[in-house]
Homo-oligomer: A and B are copies of this chain.
Amino acid sequence: MAPRSASKTPESSDKVGVICRALRRAIIEQALAPGAKLPEDSLGERFGVSRTIARHALGQLAAEGLVELRRNRIAVVATPSWQEARDAFDIRIELERLVVRQLAGKLTKNQVSELNAHVDAEDRARDGSDAVSIRLATEFHILLANMTNSPILVRYVSEVAYRCCLTLSLYSRPHSSECAINEHRAIIAALVKGDESKVMGLMHSHLDSVANRALVAPAPQRGRDLLDILAPYAEEGEGGRVVKMPKVVRAR
């Protein structure tokens, strides 16, 4: 069977799919930060399609939780609350335990080398931008999910992994990204060895540690984000005066 990208997802249909994939990638690489505006016109123009299509793509992305749609308002990249981020990780842990449980001891030689190749790529990207490292780390998990041959599982793991990726860009410390490449290698090893509970434990602690490293601030924001983010800057503007907040065009 030819490796035509899964025909069942509406995704791969046509232009809509292209836009979705592009935006998804831009979002998880933080080229589009949470809160960034996504006007239908601009998207359409940028991708050479009409608003109708851009709109449809935004709808799909919204269904995945990557963008927020408010009636009569410009769509924006989603800005999950800290609690939602934590919830996403909890769900992700359960789903990925399921993945490795199904995979333990069942990987073909080809699959193992594919995984190893991916981790090697992660290694090489170590000195590159954080954004790329994070994307690669996420894609490792998606690659794993793909090997289960369960379309539903793939979809959910992908979605939730992307969401986690998004939250990482919101809440994680600058360079905490992922020194977790070794943990990926350990997971592969355990999968090959075929010890279900061992690999489930590894995956659990791997994701848990990523989450804990990333989601460090228990209550970083209250009202909304902007005010708190700017709070440190609010004292001693230039001479005892409170700085008048400038334009504030959240995420250009």
Contact in complex: B10, A59 (CB < 8 Å): yes
A33 within 8 Å of B (CB atoms): no
- Chain B residues positioned under 8 Å from A142 (CB to CB): none
Option from B13, B83, B98 in Cβ contact (under 8 Å) with A90: B98
Nearest residue in B to A78 (C-beta to C-beta)? B8
Taken together, the copies of this chain in the complex come to 2
**For A84, what are the chain B residues with a Cβ–Cβ distance below 8 Å?**
150-152
Q: Mark A75-103, 1 if CB is under 8 A from B, else 0.
A: 00000000110011011001101100000
Given known contacts A56-B56, A87-B153, is B63 in contact with A64 (CB within 8 Å)? Answer: yes
Residue of B nearest to A57 (CB): B59
| Chain A interface residue number, banded | 35 or more
Chain B residues with CB under 8 A of A70:
7
Is A138 an interface position by the 8 A CB rule? Answer: no
In the assembly, what is the distance between CA of A8 and CA of B65, in Å? 9
The chain B residue sitting closest to A69, CB to CB, is B10
In addition to A59-B60, A84-B150, 11 A-B residue pairs with Cβ atoms within 8 Å of each other are A10-B63, A14-B71, A52-B52, A55-B56, A63-B64, A84-B151, A87-B152, A87-B153, A90-B98, A91-B98, A152-B160
